[in-house]
Amino acid sequence: MLDDVTSVTLATAISALSQQQRTSADNLANLETTGYQAQRVSFEDSLRSAVSSGNPSAATVSVTSSTDPSGVNGNNVSLNAEMVIEQKNNTQFQLLTTAISAKFDLISYAIKV
């Protein structure tokens, strides 16, 4: 019942967003570290493809170095960019957790009926 495409897709996306949050936290922790290159997380295209093939658990999360220009100290972490990423991540996380909660509510209702 909880291994259907929707549930697996939601769980996979939540897991990927958790990785995004950890990566952004690492970037912010290294805001002033000389030579540090910000990392970026990508999973949306992989998840889209995996869902299209009917196997959302096959989606992968990739973490790559940012291609943003570096400052004088060789660091390319942008506080503004990280804040935008964090806000987007939080919004997506809230939407996904609301969706999975609604799914559980439907299951609970169906069991009671």
pLDDT in tens, 81-96: 999 999 999 999 999 9
Distance of alpha carbon 46 from alpha carbon 60, whole angstroms: 6
- Each domain of the chain, given as residue ranges in start order, spans 5-112
Residue 90 and residue 98: Cα distance in Å, rounded?
12
pTM across the whole model:
0.86
Q: Are 55 and 67 in contact (CB under 8 A)?
A: no
What sections of 1-113 are H helices per DSSP? 5-29, 44-52, 79-112
Give whole-number Cα distances, 16 to 61, 89, 93, 94, in Å. 6, 10, 10, 14
Neighbours of 51 (CB within 10 A): 18
Predicted local confidence at residue 3, as pLDDT:
81
Q: Is 46 exposed, middle or buried (0-12, 13-18, 19+ CB in 10 A)?
A: middle
pLDDT digits (tens, 9 = 90+) for 16-54: 999 999 999 999 999 999 999 999 999 999 999 999 999
pLDDT at 107 over 90: no
